[in-house]
């Protein structure tokens, strides 16, 4: 059996976390030595954000580089302290230090030029994974397990060269992994490999976008023809709602690929939405596992088998979004108008979440952080007289209600909206949309009302069963 395991930043926070993860992997390997383990890592918790921030500061002033690098060294070196064997620890510190030297060179060049090329940006952003990969391999060796640390370059994870949002070139990746990664697995070594990025045909680093190491893990799973993918978290799996909003939320044992994908789009911060694509193509099951309860089953994500649970599976919330409403010019045809609006978003590099249209208006949601870019794009269209008026509200949340069962059960929308009417003060639904997949209903509300909405819907669909 060949398994890909992915450990994200959320479970790589401190020395104890690295020890815990190394123990999980090495125990599995010693229980079933014939099984093969390929381990994909993200950066240590928060490090990608630190790198992005550090780059920004370096662009502002070259004197910011040295203290930034010092902090990064300190952070990673502190994480080697749990390694028991002295020679391993000092070897690991040397490796980390060499890596950080290369990052220092790159940041210094950026700071001197006061400009950042897209290839440099992705190169710098990839350093978190390079460092955590060395760390975890070190902890595995310390636990007595054979381990090799590979970077995406070594393994040949080839992409289309799209900076910040790359896609893999599957046939090349398959061939390269077969030649460069699989032999380690066959020789019984655990492979630890960097998530989040690959390289273009020309050898430039290209990331898969924020949160992209889930996607890396799915690509590796598919291209290595692995039997299973395990995504390790610090929670038991998918829940019927965020336990922070609904304390009595239930664990979900089984989800279809479609459901997992929809929930991820709606901000169920558990999986990168693109993760299911490579898995669905090959029919490989993914499991969300919990580092604090490694023997528990976790949520399984696979082909839809039987319908389990009720009509809906889960309610997800995406916060910090802006709702934009654009009016067309009079007598303009709607499809042309929609094209004007969405091409403006595409040119501005803004991704649109949910959309609703009427005869004269288009409403859609974007993440609040993209508002300035979106506004600029719309202003241009306004100047060209392609749209007439538009406005936005940036204090919104998007609620998504998801379940395969909606396809064959009429009246779900009615139940959702009836549930929402059971409030003291009326809740204004700013926008409602039903996905083309027919397995979701989503709506936009003011941020301040979102908790109430989720609780009411949860009560309607799961209330009786949660005692
Ligand atoms: N470290 C990257 C990020 O923070 C990738 C990942 O965590 O999946 O976005
Ligand atoms: Mg993640």
Q: Are 159 and 199 in contact (CB under 8 A)?
A: yes
How do residues 254-311 score in pLDDT, each as one tens digit?
999 999 988 988 877 778 888 999 999 899 999 999 999 999 999 999 987 665 667 8
Q: Does ligand 1 come within 6 angstroms of the Cβ of 215?
A: no
| Number of helices (H), then strands (E), in the chain | 16, 17
Whole-number pLDDT of residue 465 = 46
Mean pLDDT check: name the lowest of 91-100, 323-332, 335-344, 359-368.
323-332
Are 31 and 146 in contact, with CB atoms under 8 Å apart?
A: no
**pLDDT for residue 466 is more than 50:** no
User: Which atom of ligand 1 is found nearest the CA of 215?
Assistant: 8
Q: Nearest bound ligand to CA 264?
A: 2
Q: What is the percentage of the chain residues whose pLDDT exceeds 70?
A: 97
State residue 399 phi and psi, 5-degree precision. -110, 130
pTM, whole model, 2 decimals? 0.89
**C-beta 23 within 6 A of ligand 1:** no
Residue 332 has a pLDDT of 61
Res. 11: pLDDT tops 60:
yes
pLDDT bucket at 423, cuts 50 / 70 / 90? confident
Strand partners, 159: 168, 200
Integer angstrom CA distances of residue 173 from 102, 125, 182, 212, 362: 26, 21, 12, 17, 41
Please work out whether the CB of residue 213 comes within 6 Å of at least one atom of ligand 1. Answer: yes
Does the Cβ of 373 fall within 6 Å of ligand 1?
A: no
| Average model confidence (pLDDT) across the chain | 93
- The band of 35, judged by pLDDT with boundaries at 50, 70 and 90, is very high
Going by alpha carbons, the residue nearest to atom 8 of ligand 1 is 211
Render pLDDT for 358-405 as a digit per residue (tens, 0 to 9): 878 899 999 999 999 999 999 999 898 888 899 999 999 999 999 999
Mean pLDDT score, 176-202:
98
Q: How far apart are CA 81 and CA 382, in angstroms?
A: 58
Q: Is the CB of 125 under 6 A from ligand 1?
A: no
What does the pLDDT read at residue 301? 94
Residue 309 CB less than 6 A away from ligand 1: no
pLDDT attached to residue 112? 96
What mean pLDDT comes out for the span 47-56? 97
Q: Taking residues 188-202, what's their average pLDDT?
A: 98
Q: How confident is the model at residue 306, as a pLDDT? A: 60
Distance CA 163, CA 420 (A): 42
Find the 29 Cα to ligand 1 centroid distance in Å: 26
- Write down all domains in the chain, each with its CATH number in brackets: 2-234 (3.40.1160.10), 314-462 (3.30.2130.10)
Tokens at residue 378, please?
């719309």
Determine the pLDDT at residue 309: 63
The residue whose CB lies within 8 Å of the most ligand 1 atoms, and thus the one to mutate among 6, 7, 48, is 48
pLDDT over threshold 80, residue 464: no
Residue nearest to atom 7 of ligand 1 (CA): 211
Q: What percent of the chain has pLDDT over 90?
A: 81
What is residue 467's predicted lDDT score, i.e. its pLDDT? Answer: 41
Q: What is the pLDDT of residue 264?
A: 86
CA distances in angstroms from 296 to 13, 170, 252, 331, listed in the order given: 22, 33, 13, 60
Question: According to DSSP H, which parts of 326-463 are helical?
Answer: 334-348, 371-383, 412-420, 450-462
| pLDDT band, residue 24 (cuts 50/70/90) | very high
Q: 139-153, 300-314, 332-346 — which is least confidently predicted?
A: 300-314
> Does the Cβ of 152 fall within 6 Å of ligand 1?
no
């Amino acid at each position: 059996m060949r398994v890909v395991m992915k450990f994200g930043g959320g479970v790589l926070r401190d020395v104890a976390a690295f020890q815990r993860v190394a123990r999980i992997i090495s125990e599995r390997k010693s229980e079933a030595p014939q099984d093969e383990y390929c381990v994909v890592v993200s950066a240590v918790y928060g490090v990608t954000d630190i790198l992005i921030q550090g780059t920004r500061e370096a662009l502002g002033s070259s004197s910011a580089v040295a203290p930034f690098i010092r902090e990064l060294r300190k952070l990673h070196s502190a994480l080697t302290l749990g390694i028991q064997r002295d020679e391993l620890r000092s070897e690991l510190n040397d490796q980390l230090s060499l890596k950080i030297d290369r990052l220092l060179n790159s940041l210094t060049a950026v700071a001197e030029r006061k400009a950042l090329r897209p290839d440099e940006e992705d190169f710098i952003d990839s350093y978190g994974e390079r460092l955590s990969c060395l760390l975890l391999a070190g902890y595995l060796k310390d636990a007595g397990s054979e381990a090799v640390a590979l970077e995406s370059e070594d393994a040949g994870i080839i992409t289309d060269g799209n900076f910040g949002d790359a896609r893999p070139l599957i046939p090349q990746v398959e061939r390269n992994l077969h030649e460069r990664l699989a032999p380690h697995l066959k020789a019984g070594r655990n492979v630890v490999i960097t998530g989040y990025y690959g390289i273009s045909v020309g050898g430039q680093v290209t990331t898969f976008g924020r949160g992209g190491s889930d996607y890396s893990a799915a690509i590796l799973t598919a291209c290595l023809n692995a039997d299973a993918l395990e995504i390790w978290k610090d929670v038991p799996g998918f829940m019927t709602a965020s336990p922070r909003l609904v304390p009595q939320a239930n664990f979900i044992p089984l989800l279809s690929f479609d459901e997992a994908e929809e929930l991820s789009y709606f901000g169920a911060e558990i999986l990168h939405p693109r993760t299911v694509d490579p898995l669905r193509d090959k029919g490989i099951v993914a499991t969300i596992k919990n580092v604090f309860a490694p023997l528990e089953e976790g949520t399984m994500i696979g082909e839809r088998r039987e319908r389990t649970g009720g009509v809906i599976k889960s309610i997800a919330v995406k916060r910090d979004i802006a709702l934009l409403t654009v009016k067309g010019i009079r007598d303009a045809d709607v499809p042309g108008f929609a094209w004007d609006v969405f091409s403006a978003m595409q040119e501005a590099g803004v991704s649109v979440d949910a959309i609703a249209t009427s005869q004269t208006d288009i409403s859609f949601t974007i993440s609040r952080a993209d508002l300035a870019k979106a506004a600029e794009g719309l202003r241009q269209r306004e100047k060209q007289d392609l749209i007439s008026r538009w406005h936005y509200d940036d204090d919104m949340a998007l609620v998504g209600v998801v379940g395969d069962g909606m396809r064959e059960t009429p009246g779900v929308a009615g139940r959702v909206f009836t549930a929402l009417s059971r409030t003291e003060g009326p809740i204004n639904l700013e926008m409602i949309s039903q996905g083309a997949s027919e397995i979701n209903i989503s709506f936009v509300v003011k941020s301040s009302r979102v908790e109430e909405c989720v609780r009411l819907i949860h009560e309607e669909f799961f209330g009786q069963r949660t005692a």
